Amino acid sequence: MKGTSLFKYCTLLLPILALLYSFLLNCAMATVYTVGDQEEWNSQTNYASWAEAYNFSLGDVLVFRYVKEQHNVYEVTKDTFRSCNASSGVLIKYDSGEDRVKLNKVKKYWFICDIPGHCLGGMRFGIEARNSTIATNSTYDTLIPHIEPTTLDNSCRNYISERWRVIRNLIPLGLLLFNL
């Protein structure tokens, strides 16, 4: 019958749409932060309080905007962040005037400006990039037991594979319901 076959296609299509939707929600939503917001990267802003106003997640991006040669951006160790002495402990140097730093590790990041006096003057901050951890206790998980948490670096891929397993398990259930 035409009616039932339409339902059948819907039960196949809906999980795919649901997967796409959850992809958009959870993966395309890496946040891009302009350091200092409207103030951008300069010597008049308190970056400690800027950094405290946000929660940073794996995959988020920091954008440093400033006049090239008036400032720069060094990712440094905690000790160098504290001392403002960049003769050691420099991890990465940026100086393009519009530097995009992707937070691709779960760790603490420390940034300073290495123009003399700027770091001590307040052009420095530390942030922690966290795992935006997946809630493993969804309502479906009780239906499908023994979902083992996959250990992937990429929390997004992890999320998708987990959602997909749930959806894949619901397809036969959907077909069953509409065919009977």
Ligand X SMILES: *[C@@H]1O[C@H](CO)[C@@H](O)[C@H](O)[C@H]1NC(C)=O
Helices (H) and strands (E) in the chain, counts: 4, 8
Q: Which is nearer to ligand X, 98 or 153 (CB)?
A: 153
Q: Hey, which residues between 140 and 159 contact Cu ion (CB under 5 A)?
A: none
Strands 61-65, 32-34: pairing is parallel
Q: Which is nearer to ligand X, 44 or 87 (CB)?
A: 87
Q: Are 108 and 123 in contact (CB under 8 A)?
A: no
Least distance to Cu ion, CB of residue 46, Å = 14
Question: Is residue 169 a contact point for ligand X (CB under 6 A)?
Answer: no
Question: Is residue 124 a contact point for Cu ion (CB under 5 A)?
Answer: no
Taking alpha carbons only, the member of 20, 19, 53, 22 closest to residue 36 is 53
Distance, CA of 91 to CA of 29 (rounded, Å) = 27
Out of 71, 75, 112, 125, the residue judged to bind Cu ion by CB under 5 A: 71
Q: Which residue ranges make up the site for ligand X (CB under 6 A)?
A: 54-55, 85, 87, 106, 131, 137, 151-152, 155, 158
